[in-house]
Structure 1
Amino acid sequence: MGVTGAGKTTVGRALAEALGSDYADADAFHSEDNVAKMSAGEPLDDADREPWLRAVGDWLAARDAAGGVVSCSALKRTYRDALRERGPGVWFLHLTGPPDVAAARVGEREGHFMPVSLVTAQYAALEPLKNDEPGLTVEFVLPPEQIVEQALRALAEIQAESSKEVI
């Protein structure tokens, strides 16, 4: 999760490969209307995102037992709650960092519908991952390999904790 330009796709693909899991980019779940709106520099509102979040959540729920990785902005707590409602085991890797770096990355992309002008709107809407939400926050300025290593360590710790016997 994170704003546009945080490296969600790069990290998500690498994490899915390391885990041997299915991967999806949540951008592929947007309606044509949502893509057109964002392409025009208009931020999506909650009503625009609702069917999109439902589709992403359904994708995750279908992979709940086997696991799956999806790159998704999930900017607000309510969006993450909606994803967890459909896939109760959802764990978030929040990629966070400076707006100027995210904007520079978006400006360098070719063939993507998200304009640089929406970086500011995404930061304004962002509600960072809270301590009571399952996940990990990592700086996106780190190399993707280091981010994936941190995520894998955190996931291994969770798995180790859940496999301990209670006496």
Structure 2
Amino acid sequence: MMKLRQRRVSLFLGQCGACWAFSTVANLEYWYMRNNRQNLDFSEQALLDCDTQSQGCNGGYPNSAFNGQLVAAIIKVKYTECKFLLPAVAMKERQWRILKICWTILRLFIVAVLVTHAMQYFKGGLVYRPTQAECASNVGGHAWLIAGLDYEGNNPYYIIKNSWGTS
């Protein structure tokens, strides 16, 4: 089966603070691929527009998307900007319980992080733990999907799916 990191290139968000939606949808896409053997692209835009607990391009939290609006991401809508025009979509209780169980078993995690100045210009490779001073002067927040664990020598590191694009 194709590895998640080879699946789809990360999109560049520009000034839109939608990392919470991209990491959440990446989680759902991988869950779907593992369980259905189909490689589908779900819509971050639908989640941006439907999750009324978040603020679209002004930021949000993956946990609010997992609280009921995640199924909206299945709707195919091209990523553009936040509109908040789509109607809310509901998921049956049984489907929601199955999704939560599978999400836990797959060991995929969405993490929220403070972004340091060094991380703001990150192009690739390994990111090391920032100092306390770097964390104190953070430039904002961000969310990633932790898609796996690998090793460089004896040093473990997480493989992340990021929504900052490739440049």
Q: Given the two structures, how large is their TM-score scaled by the length of structure 1? A: 0.28
More strand, by proportion: 2
More helix, by proportion: 1
Q: Given the two structures, how large is their TM-score scaled by the length of structure 2? A: 0.28
